[in-house]
Chain A
Amino acid sequence: MATDVRQYLRLEAPPMPFCPGCGDRILLRLILTAIDELKINMDDMLFVSGIGCAAWIPSPHFNADTLHTLHGRAIAFATGAKLFNPKLKVMVISGDGDLADIGGNHLIHAARRNIDLTVICANNMVYGQTGGQVAATAAKGVLTATTTAGNYYRPFDLCKLVNAAGATYAARYSVTQPTLLISSIKKALQTEGFSFIEVISPCPTQFGRRNRLDTPKDTFKFFEDKLITKEDAEGLSPQELENRIITGEFSNGSS
């Protein structure tokens, strides 16, 4: 049964800004579904976001306390709010550029401190909002506004990064894996300590277009073809895994 998430939306807000085929709209729905399934009272939640398309998922659409901050700094703002009022249940939702490029330092320090935050990072491999420039999460070879000959550098493995820094829970799923993603968001929300989910959220407009993926469907297929589960990836060589996106849970200790 599909959850009616309208009850969690701020109905006076303007229509959502997401382009047709944007993964962020699916992600929005999956986050609210997880909250619904956990029966969390939205009055207990604080949603913090940075700047970018993904940062618009909670603000202004979630009918709860929302803090739309500066580019890269969402986790720092969230840290202050959470530490002063530990009763707040704080979720940070932002883009890959926001959380991992300009805000990468705050990400690893929050993981190191194991601050009780849930961080959802929408990875579309680019800066969607500013015209599709390359992000630190972009696969080698992809075409973007600023890598017109193909991305020369390797992407961050964000789950490894936050794990190495000490996060309690880390996972990676795609918006094309809704069931897995919902249960992962629920786990993250129930985790005490720092929890992090990297969500593959395709951007047909800025990423797809430049990589000759003519329709949203093509863009989704481009990402889906790269997905491989943690279990299937075991035993494969680094060469075989290059340019693949490994999904699953990568928590320290548990699961």
Chain B
Amino acid sequence: MVLKEMKSTLPPGSYYFSGNEAAAEGAIAAQCGYYAGYPITPSSELMHRIAARFRETGAVFMQMEDELASICSIIGASWAGARAMTATSGPGFSLMQEAISYAIMTETPIVIVDIQRVGPSTGQATRPGGGDMMQAKWGSHGDREVIAISPWSVQEMYDQTINAFNLAERYRVPVILLSDEAIAHLRERIEVRERITIFNRRKEKGAPPFGAGDDGVPPMPAFGEGEKLLVTASTHTEYGLRKTNDPLVQAKLASRLHYKIVNKREEIIEYEHYHVEDAEVVVIAYGFTARSSLFAVERLRQEGKKVGMIRLKTIWPFADRLIRNLGAKVKKVFVPEMNIGQMAGEIMKYAPCDVISFSQTNGEVIHPYTIMEQLERLL
């Protein structure tokens, strides 16, 4: 369709980056044209790299007065035609919630990187946490569908940032990179490929910018193209006219915004599986915790234990079918998380088997031995 292959901005080869730096490079590779942000630990290095590198690429960088202004300005820039992004952490992510729902309602492609730190509130600013998983899904009023991705390595901070831009533009929806302090401050070698694939926003002169299109995702014009756009987050018709009393228009719009994502979830959702074929107990993990989990699973396999692992790369939309099928085959699933069972609760909604939630919210990553210990008790 509108996929374009192009040369990556960095010369191909290996680089030694932190997660934050890799996400910044991913954004540059994806041709991010506008970035606005407000400093917050542990995400700030991402913005520092953007500020320095955008001077070379000619893209626009703005340090705004707060996170409200940051996210609103990237939405404005997106409608002016930019691939647009911001990055933050818990407190800032909370401030952005109203505008995330604005972007959902107006079908504005934006990318938000959330480097999670342990909360509630200011919590421990330099320590990792996983407490924003549900906020990413339900953080603002109204039923709302977003796409959220959980990277587990510095390589994925680069690759998944590019993917986040492509998904945002493809589905006209905010995409959240739900990372955390441990990945953002980790330094690893990554490989930058010669070529990457970019999704170019679909345009169609005169077509309704909020219509159903062929697949529920309308084409997206930009300001300044003579389309006389009407953009509003009040309930609107397919040409953007406000209809704030019409139950049919409201029901139709809310339903399309939901199903344009949910009906495409098999295309969107990515995951990995390890040793699940004959496993009796399966770990379901994501982000940094999946690294510890994989270590534990591999060790226990060497000892002949029937244990496997699923790594959720996509958090939202949720991999409900995967979990339902898996739960029908195994005795138990074990869900280690740096929050109090946020995804375990979601897994319980679908898995027809025992779901054991393991929580650690002390600001430290979960040690592989901790996971081994827990699994040994279940086997």
Contact = CB atoms under 8 A, between A and B. Distances in A.
A69 B72 contact: yes
A68 B240 CA distance: 10
B69 A70 contact: no
B230 A70 contact: no
Given A60-B230, A68-B232, A69-B102, A106 B69 contact: yes
Interface stretch (B77-85, B190-198, B340-348): B77-85
B51 interface: no
A83 interface: yes
A67 B231 contact: yes
A86 B5 CA distance: 28
A66 B229 contact: yes
Contact of A83 (B62, B224, B242): B62
B74 interface: yes
Nearest to B226: A43
B229 A77 contact: no
Contacts, number: 126
B76 interface: yes
B69 A66 contact: no
A38 interface: no
Given A60-B242, A67-B231, A109-B65, A83 B226 contact: no
Interface footprint category on A: 35 or more
Given A65-B224, A76-B69, A59 B62 contact: no
Contacts of A76: 64, 68-70, 72-73, 76
Interface residues on B, range: 35 or more
A66 B241 CA distance: 11
B270 interface: no
Contacts of A43: 224, 226, 228
Contacts of B64: 76, 79, 109
B72 A77 contact: yes
Given A70-B233, A105-B65, A109-B69, A83 B228 contact: no
Given A70-B102, A80-B36, 16 more contacts: A14-B241, A60-B230, A64-B228, A66-B229, A66-B230, A68-B231, A76-B72, A79-B64, A80-B75, A80-B78, A80-B80, A80-B84, A83-B34, A83-B62, A83-B77, A85-B222
